Amino acid sequence: MAPKPTTPAHFIDGEWVAPLEGGTREIRCPADGSLVATVAEGSAADSEAAIAAARRAFDSGVWSSTPAVERGALLLALADRLEAEKEEVARLEALDTGKRMVEARIDMDDIIGVFRHFGKLADADAGRVVDAGMPSVASRVVYEPVGVCSLISPWNYPLLQTSWKVAPAIAAGCAFIVKPSELTPSTSMWLVATLDDLGLPKGVGNLILGAGAAVGDPLTSDPRVDMVSFTGGLVTGKRIMASAAETVKKIALELGGKNPNVVFADADLPAAIDNALTAIFLDSGQVCSAGSRLIVEASIHDEVVDELVRRAEKIRLGGPFDERAETGPLISAAHREKVEAYVAAGIAEGAVLRTGGTRPEAEQYQAGFYYLPTILDECRSGMSCVRDESFGPVLTVETFEGDDPDSVEDAAVAIANDTHYGLAGAVWSQNAGRAERVARRLRHGTIWINDYHPYVPQAEWGGFGQSGIGRELGVAGLEEYREAKHIWHNTRSAPAGWFDAD
């Protein structure tokens, strides 16, 4: 493993440096409250130092003028290093988030795939020649790195979300400041230390730790920052967009979703029901693409929901190293309180609590932030539990019906699109034509047909509507970090002849 700081520190200009105001924060495992680490807690002055270092490094051209094939090679080496250190990095992630090791290991495999994807993409597209229609003119479009990037990520998939930003930034030749969630900094510390160890030039990759309110403002408003990429909540996303607007920064936002999981009566019901459980209860629902809205054809409502309730009540909760556990705790006491308030509001508005709605009672759960898998039935559009993201293990159930096959489809699509979000969704039907038609009509960035959750780094990820701006992963995920530049070269210069020379 690359050297870690011996005292709480940020990583700025190739060095671990103490926070200017000397702040520290204890990181505690959400599964049992045990102390995981004591890390730096920064201030705006620390962010400014990191921005200055990134700006200097970028303006020196040290990374942007490194051949793209070498930038890609660094990402491929990073993937190899993570593969070699996978167990230890997964452990860091599991302790910070409380998620089970089995999930953290899957996250690591996904991250390795992300580094390899962008590693291979780095030198795949050097631009294009444009036919200017004149033999004396060479016209071409080339790509330049966007510049200094603030990369702000959340706590649910800490290193995975950060890798979606850092990998394309490195591939494009940018300099950057990583700002992980204050709750889950450990794997980002591993990342910048490892990049340094692998030879990323000083100042190109920096790390600032601390609460968004304390360190976030310079990262999103300083004129020396060219781009902000943020994954997190809608409220914070709007604030960041406003902050970045003053200096017209490029922005990329992924702000979560309220994702419809549409089940038609002609679906493979055992598969649909089983996947509806993983869609919402995996990682206790703390997944931006969680299938939090079950939208089920009325004729199969009872059969589907009764079975979901039966199985939800059997889900085993537990911490990172509990091998029998199937899902884990929520991230914090504050987040659990938010989920509790959300469920209470749903019930007050008329939703019927079918299961859960409370904390587990067993002694073993009392030191962690556990919450039982919860199903709210008889929900309707307009209810706050249908409209707002809970980001917890809470499934809302709505129904649709129609007089004929077309009106059934229309009803399902209307309900599924009735959201200000638009990140992801699924359609379950054994009628391939219907599944395709509905998939095309859903206004969401990822649609699964007869499946839920899988993704590959080769495909774009991002949202319609208020789920965000821009795309991560795929090819577009690299384009976000590049500016297209048109170069017109007249090989036979001559006066334009427009204005009278005399």
Interface with ligand TXE, residue 206, by CB under 6 A: no
Check if the beta carbon of residue 376 is closer than 8 Å to that of residue 346: yes
Sequence-distant (6+) residues with CB within 8 A of 390 are 285, 292, 338, 339, 342, 343
Contacting ligand TXE (CB under 6 A), which of 113, 201, 233, 465?
A: 233
Interface with ligand TXE, residue 240, by CB under 6 A: yes
CB atoms within 10 A of CB 149: 30
Q: Any catalytic annotation for residue 297?
A: no
Check if the beta carbon of residue 257 is closer than 8 Å to that of residue 461: no
CB atoms within 10 A of CB 266: 16
Q: Any catalytic annotation for residue 254?
A: yes
Task: Report the candidate in 292, 246, 240, 147 with the shortest Cα–Cα distance to residue 469.
Answer: 240
Please give the full DSSP string across 73-132, using - where no structure is assigned. Answer: HHHHHHHHHHHHTHHHHHHHHHHHH---HHHHHHHHHHHHHHHHHHHHHTTT---EEE--
Interface with ligand TXE, residue 463, by CB under 6 A: no
Interface with ligand TXE, residue 46, by CB under 6 A: no
Contacting ligand TXE (CB under 6 A), which of 152, 252, 397, 438?
A: 152
In the chain, the amino acid numbered 97 is: T
Interface with ligand TXE, residue 239, by CB under 6 A: yes
Element (H, E) at 335: helix 333-348
Residue 213 CB, nearest approach to ligand TXE (Å) = 6
CB atoms within 10 A of CB 126: 10
**The one catalytic residue among 48, 93, 182, 254:** 254
Contacting ligand TXE (CB under 6 A), which of 220, 229, 327, 466?
A: 220
Strands (E), 357-472: 374-377, 394-400, 424-428, 446-449, 468-469
Task: Tell me how many residues contact ligand TXE (CB under 6 A).
Answer: 28
Burial 354-381 (b: 16+ CB within 10 A, else e): bbbbebeeeeebebbbbbbbbbbbebee
Interface with ligand TXE, residue 232, by CB under 6 A: yes
- The dihedral built from the CA positions of residue 233, 238, 239 and 240, taken in this order, carries a sign that is positive
* Contact window for ligand TXE (CB under 6 A) among 71-79, 196-204, 253-261, 478-486: 253-261
Contacting ligand TXE (CB under 6 A), which of 18, 52, 62, 211?
A: 211
What is the per-residue binding string for ligand TXE in 382-411, x denoting contact by CB under 6 A?
-------x-x--------------------
* Contact window for ligand TXE (CB under 6 A) among 43-51, 216-224, 320-328, 353-361: 216-224
Q: Is 374 helix (H, G, I), strand (E, B) or coil?
A: strand
SS (H, E, C) 379-402: CCCCCHHHHCCCCCCEEEEEEECC
Contacting ligand TXE (CB under 6 A), which of 8, 212, 218, 328?
A: 212
- For 499, counting Cβ atoms within 10 Å of its Cβ (0-12 exposed, 13-18 middle, 19+ buried), the class is exposed
* Contact window for ligand TXE (CB under 6 A) among 76-84, 86-94, 162-170, 230-238: 230-238
Q: Return the number of the residue (31 or 178) whose C-beta is nearest ligand TXE.
A: 178
Q: Return the number of the residue (273 or 424) whose C-beta is nearest ligand TXE.
A: 424
Contact positions with ligand TXE (CB under 6 A) in 311-350: 338
Residue 286 CB, nearest approach to ligand TXE (Å) = 7
Q: Return the number of the residue (138 or 211) whose C-beta is nearest ligand TXE.
A: 211
Check if the beta carbon of residue 267 is closer than 8 Å to that of residue 429: yes
| Rounded-to-integer distance, Cα 418 and Cα 451, Å | 21
Contacting ligand TXE (CB under 6 A), which of 188, 231, 259, 284?
A: 231
Residue 301 CB, nearest approach to ligand TXE (Å) = 27
Residue pointed to by tokens 């649609």: 447
What is the per-residue binding string for ligand TXE in 255-294, x denoting contact by CB under 6 A?
xx-------------------------------x------
What is the per-residue binding string for ligand TXE in 50-69, x denoting contact by CB under 6 A?
--------------------
Element (H, E) at 162: helix 158-172
Contacting ligand TXE (CB under 6 A), which of 107, 182, 222, 226?
A: 182
**The one catalytic residue among 288, 379, 385, 409:** 288
| Rounded-to-integer distance, Cα 61 and Cα 38, Å | 35
Q: Which residues bind ligand TXE (CB under 6 A)?
A: 152-156, 179-182, 211-213, 216, 219-220, 231-233, 236, 239-240, 254-256, 288, 338, 389, 391
Supply the residues annotated as catalytic.
254, 288
